[in-house]
Amino acid sequence: MVMEGQQQQQQQQQQLPKSRVAKVDSEESWYLFVTQANNQGCPVFVHFGASWCVPSLAMNSFFEELAMTYQDILFLVVDVDEVKGVASKMEVKAMPTFVLMRDGAVVDKIVGANPEEIRKRMDGFVRSFRRPNMVD
């Protein structure tokens, strides 16, 4: 019976989507993702990159790893060449740029491919985000 349970669990895991990261392919999808996250009280972490930028591409697997670690945060990838309006509105001037948002507002912006710094800031944000609200 234990073996059956393990097999079922493995099958279920295989059926889950391989990526927890959503690709933003238009301004409309950007607003849809951000609005939905705001309505659900879900923070958003965005990786602004470009297909021609080697450091951006190198951060993709790290970004996927973060998405698996912080499952109560929406992770988005925006290619600045495909969705220029969003990159401009978010004042992205260098790649890669990572933006952490809460309730539609930018909470933190990290420029550059520094996994240790990104993880440190994410840990700090998640601790403050998950802290119980002491005010009635």
% of the chain residues with pLDDT over 90? 66
pLDDT at residue 69 tops 50 = yes
**Model's pTM, two decimal places?**
0.80
**109 near 61, Cβ under 8 Å?**
no
In this prediction, residue 128 carries a pLDDT of: 84
Q: Is 122 left (phi over 0), alpha (psi -120 to 50) or beta?
A: alpha
Q: Cα dist. 6→49, 68, 120 in Å?
A: 39, 21, 34
As given in the structure block, the two tokens for residue 24 are 């933003």
Beta pairing class for 97-102 and 44-49:
antiparallel
User: Between residues 129 and 10, which one has the greater pLDDT?
Assistant: 129
Find residue 21's DSSP bridge partners.
75
Closest of 128, 25, 28 to residue 73, by C-alpha: 128
- Give first-to-last CA distance, the chain, whole Å: 48
5-57 pLDDT, tens digit each: 445 444 444 433 446 799 999 999 999 999 999 999 999 999 999 989 999 89
Over residues 86-114, mean pLDDT: 93
